[in-house]
Chain A
Amino acid sequence: MLLTVTTTHRPATDLGFLLHKHPQRVQTFSVPFGEVHVFYPEATEERCTAALLLDIDPVGLVRRGRGASSFALAEYVNDRPYVASSLLSVALVNVFKSAMAGTCKGYEELAASAIPLEASLPAVPARGGESLVRRLFEPLGYDVRVAPIVLDPKFPEWGEGAHVGLRLAGELRLAELLNHLYVLLPVLDDDKHYWVDEAEIEKLMRRGEGWLGVHPERDLIVRRYLKKQARLYFPALAKLDEAAPPVEEPDEPGREEQLEERVSLRDQRLGTVQSVLKSSGAKRVLDLGCGAGVLLERLMREEYESIVGADVSVRALEQAARRLKLDEMHDAQRQRITLLHSPLTYRDKRLIGFDAAALVEVIEHLDPPRLAGAEQNVFGSARPGTVVVTTPNAEYNVRWETLPAGQFRHPDHRFEWTRGEFATWAQGVARRHGYEVRYLPVGPDDPQVGPPTQMAVFSR
């Protein structure tokens, strides 16, 4: 992993003073995850380049029990030794401590003045692509050059990967450049190699002083820098608001609106499910595939005698238990709710004897061959009086501009049905198991493609 910083300020070799590293020497420093070498490939009056070579020890980097990845070998086969990540940030504060603080004994004026600087990084993990790179650095006054990296020249059809070569040029103080890199490289990477806690807020405030508060991507930077932990980034944002009055942020109406629409669609979906359950007169209800318990939470506020949430994922059930605060519930409340670990495709006799069941955005997560098993379990064995099923309407997908054609809304979806496909399935179910079925739209009912979510209500 290499970072080079070049200046054309005269005399360029003053860079050595600013960095506190002599241009004629090759120096090596030790950091917890390897070694840092600093040397100067060029050092003339006109042009001076300092290089920081971070030699990461991959074996030392491996730590057991780090977050579950779908790729079991991610700890061993990864890009960390080769790319600019939070490891580089740590190396920077280790090696260029005074430069980052903007102090330089005897050269105070130079340290305080903007000089022409160019930073170059051969491989930067850019989650968010070139556009995010530009959105992060251009507002800070850099001329940004992004060089895509092809995945494998032997297989050109694979295209480009998630890494880019990055060159930033601008006229600014060296400390500013280093602090920008310190904060923004891990933000681009969207990862940190260490545990993030409250202390991280302080670091961000210090390194972001003077620029972060007014950065148009402030919120994104703060969120990513603090590993998307709400307990950290909300306080951090509040601090920034105190420090600098909020400026008019150029909104991105498209994304905002889309987000809002999505949230309200979920609300509408759950609300519709609630209405249907309520109007069925059910006293005992099932939420099959309850996930983290969003619907359960709403159902608990209504007057059901017994509510059962079932899910195949033990983790989801744990989340649901936390969301519902099961541990702290009073006995009378606690008796109304039960969480069951139950895979929909295996018959579960504990689901028998309920008035109504909801399957909200569940069936599309089942492999089509397993659908018949789930059908038997719900309609053949459990046989609640009313069954509400919601699933995406595939036809509506064309209305979502950000969703590439032919792609599902969620990577785990095994299928997304058109209204016709859904109706065919639902009618078959109704016929096989003696139910009647009616359909309700959820969300705006588009005249051409129908509503974003389709709902079938089975009753017998």
Chain B
Amino acid sequence: MRIDLPDPSLVVLIGPSGAGKSSFARRHFAPTEVISSDFCRGLVADDENAQRATTDAFAVLHFIAGRRLAQPRFTVVDATNVQREARRPLIELARQHDLFAVAIVLDMPEAICQERNRSRPERDFGPHVVRQQRSQLRRSLKGLQREGFRRVVVLRSPEEVEGAEVQRAPLWTDRRADHGPFDIIGDVHGCHAELAELLRELGYQLAADGTSATPPDGRRAVFVGDYGDRGPDTPSVLKLVMSMAEAGTAVCLPGNHDMKLVRKLKGRDVRITHGLAGTLEQLEGEPDEFRDQVRDFLDKLVSHVVLDDGKLVVAHAGMKEAYQGRSSGRVRDFALFGETTGETDEFGLPVRLQWATDYRGKAAVVYGHTPVAEAEWLNNTINIDTGCVFGGRLTALRWPERELVSVPASRTYYEPAKPFLAPEDAAPLADEDRPAFLLDVDDVAGKRIVQTRLARTVTVREENAAAALEIMSRFATDPRWLVYLPPTMAPTATSSRPDLLEHPEEAFAEYRSVGVPHVICEEKHMGSRAIVVVCRDADVARERFGVDGGETGAIYTRTGRPFLDRPVDTEAALSRVRGAVESAGLWDALGTGWLVLDCELLPWSAKAMELIRRQYASVGAAAKAGLNATVAALDVARARGLDVALLLDRQRHRIEHVDDYLDAYRRYVWPVDGVSDLRLAPFHVLAAETGVFIDRDHMWHLEHCDQLVTADPDWFQRTGRRTVDVTDPGDQATGAAWWEELTVGGGEGMVVKPMSFVARGRKGLVQPGIKCRGREYLRIIYGPEYADPGQIDRLRTRSLGRKRSLAIREFGLGVEALERFVRREPLYRVHECVLGVLAMESEPVDPRL
């Protein structure tokens, strides 16, 4: 006897003690799939036969079964289950998890059970127990199906048990093994002409009568349902999809209209509304057997499908994550109608819950059902019903390409209940259409494990996430603009030269030793890091970033705070950037309407004025006052013959140090009265609609930045650079000399980067950049007098390990954020990475590095 079991499902073994349930389970199922009541008794009471522990043992059994079904995993419950009360919670459990429960009954003759129990000394209960269990079982047998078991299998003799064979079959909704490629087509509603045109557009060959089609190279069509009603030619649409389904070139899903038609065709009493009358009229002209075929075809359609290794889910009205790949009445309801509150709006249409707003599943969900002006991704879901029958368009989504293809309706076939705007009339993505909430605290709080393409898995510790969340929530710019945060950067290993902490030599050597021969040295501007997101206009900002306050971009610091306090200044700066991008022709050259630029915004005092005054100048002023008075006193003392020469000498040196320190910060200060006094020095063109440009080398980035400088030389600042072959001593010397030249006058220094944006060595990613800061500049980091021989030697021990590891992880997270954004992944997926960068920054690291 063959027993077919859906996988996953909950299998409940039923039979008196000694019926052979455990042996049956051992033979047919994996040990981890079987949960036995005896085992659970052992877990809670150290004794598999402890009857007093039964209540607790079953609590554990139900808990484990529930967790397994949530996974979902195939689960077998091995207990007597002869009483209805024992079975009820199990059936309820399967229902809760929208999976089938199957009963396998071992109805063995009493003698056999008694015999087996006698041979097991631990089962010392009297023969009345088995007798009673058997009679309970016999009373239950008839009603099992009604109790809620999807299938009931009864084995009545040892021979039948011996001959049983178990076969598992995936649920009908589970077509994960089917990899497509697919063309998923929205609600057709009898618009046969548009469907034929769309299929041709997608490369399908249509028969002359338009009732069959051959797809191009291995593609398959997936229909989201609602084949008929309202439109002009439902029979032809049905013929076409049925023939394709028959030929295996289409996967058809049921829509709510289709289900109503089935009921009508089965002779049930349904209200002839919402265009059903037209369909019935059109079907009148068809032979009876066609109507029967239609009925049978539609009746067999499965609520939804999970395709392509679980990466794609298609259902008529959507499918929330918890229901995907499962089967129950409410799953089917969800597939047909979506999630409704039960209320209706002023047009008499059901009020829908925004399940897509809350969707956080890994699988992309493609659906239709509710006409929208524009098919648009939201949290990895997309509604492709663009209202063809209402005069909109018929839309297909190509998978895995994720391209949208659509054809316009040749006319409005049906007036919608709710005003439905054709795309050109609709205000694209008006405020009310956009889900109010894009980010949930669950998306960001707690320990997070982020998968990045570059740096693999990055773990964000809970307390760091909490700290980042606080910063993000209170200080950061609108999260929709935060598509990137820059990584921290480690300095070079400490120089071996006596008077320096940092020198390019060490950076060159490091890249050489990890197998990177070509590096680029970029001048480090002493300003503040600024990420510039700039859109061609407010429309692009609205369409691509979903920001509808009229902003055209954002400029923010490395911690995500708005760089400029007043929005009007931000817009002024953006318009300056936009002007340069425009005249450099970068919109077209990069095929985009927006850009993310990685820049330094100068002067330092623009952002740090308060810090410079309160901290830097204040220290300098106190130092000068103190040291001058000291030198004066020593001078007087020396004049009267005291031996203070050494002391005096030392204090004079200190004054020199302090003077150098004053010069160091003064260089980075200039008055800023308005945006035009700022200078922007871009050095990375990070991303645009066409991609994240980490596959271009740094020369490419700098050359594109140069174009901006050329376009607006008064406001953009060029980044000086030198390329160095680190296997060539002469080249290295030239590079070092250039650094010398940059820093002797107080320049901040330079950043040494591998020529390619992303470089890998034997141990994975290499540092994306290493900074070599100038001797004078370091005074504002290490203190005014750090370069004093008495101090510098004690500063040489620096542990760079953590900083370097953070730099790699943050680099990976930042790039991942951009890649997710470019792929149009949901905001919470982008935000997760950005928040990760910020969280990494709350790791304690020596701030001088």
A positions within 8 Å CB-CB of B: 1-2, 4, 24, 26, 37, 39-43, 49, 51, 53, 55, 57-59, 71-74, 76-79, 81-83, 120, 122-123, 125, 149-152, 154-155, 158, 161-163, 165, 312-314, 341-350, 365-367, 369-370, 373, 376-377, 380-381
Contact = CB atoms under 8 A, between A and B. Distances in A.
A79 B630 contact: no
Given A158-B617, A343-B469, A77 B781 contact: yes
B498 interface: no
A376 B642 contact: no
B24 interface: no
Nearest to A35: B647
Contact of B644 (A26, A49, A123): A26
Nearest to A348: B441
Contact of B440 (A49, A78, A348): A348
Secondary structure type dominating chain B contacts? helix
Contacts of A376: 436-437
Interface residues of B, number: 65
A125 B622 contact: yes
Given A77-B619, A314-B467, A367-B474, A53 B440 contact: no
A155 B617 contact: yes
B626 A154 contact: no
8 contacts: A2-B629, A2-B633, A59-B794, A120-B629, A123-B622, A154-B662, A314-B467, A367-B474
Nearest to A58: B783
B466 interface: yes
A37 B630 CA distance: 11
Interface string B639-683: 010111001001000000000001000100100000000000000
Most A CB within 10 A of own CB, among B442, B467, B469, B791? B469
Contact of B475 (A155, A349, A367, A380): A367
Given A41-B640, A76-B781, A370-B474, 17 more contacts: A24-B642, A26-B647, A37-B647, A41-B633, A53-B647, A57-B790, A71-B611, A73-B847, A122-B625, A151-B613, A151-B620, A163-B618, A341-B466, A343-B441, A346-B440, A346-B444, A349-B442
B626 A82 contact: yes
Contacts of A120: 629
A346 B469 CA distance: 10
B178 interface: no
B104 interface: no
Most A CB within 10 A of own CB, among B444, B628, B633, B781? B633
Given A82-B623, A367-B474, A76 B629 contact: no
Interface in B570-620: 611, 613, 615-620
B112 to A, nearest CB: 53
Most A CB within 10 A of own CB, among B441, B629, B794? B441
B561 to A, nearest CB: 9
Interface string B78-116: 000000000000000000000000000000000000000
Given A42-B640, A370-B478, A376-B436, A161 B626 contact: no
Shortest beta-carbon contacts, A-B, top 9: A343-B473, A122-B629, A72-B847, A41-B636, A82-B626, A151-B617, A123-B622, A82-B623, A348-B441
A342 B474 CA distance: 12
B166 interface: no
B633 A51 contact: yes
A308 to B, nearest CB: 14
A37 to B, nearest CB: 6
B643 to A, nearest CB: 6
B228 interface: no
A39 B439 CA distance: 67
A182 B642 CA distance: 28
A364 to B, nearest CB: 12
A280 B511 CA distance: 68
A39 B640 CA distance: 11
Nearest to B609: A158
A77 B440 contact: no
Contact of B473 (A1, A55, A345): A345
Interface string B452-491: 0000000000010011011011110110000000000000
Contacts of B323: none
B619 A82 contact: yes
A125 B626 CA distance: 12
A346 B443 contact: yes
Nearest to A316: B470
A256 B225 CA distance: 76
Contacts of B782: 76-77
A150 B437 CA distance: 51
A153 B180 CA distance: 74
B152 interface: no
B784 interface: yes
Nearest to A44: B640
B627 A313 contact: no
A77 B473 contact: no
Given A71-B611, A76-B848, A367-B475, A347 B439 contact: yes
Contacts of A373: 437, 439
A88 to B, nearest CB: 11
Nearest to A39: B637
Contact of B642 (A26, A58, A79): A26
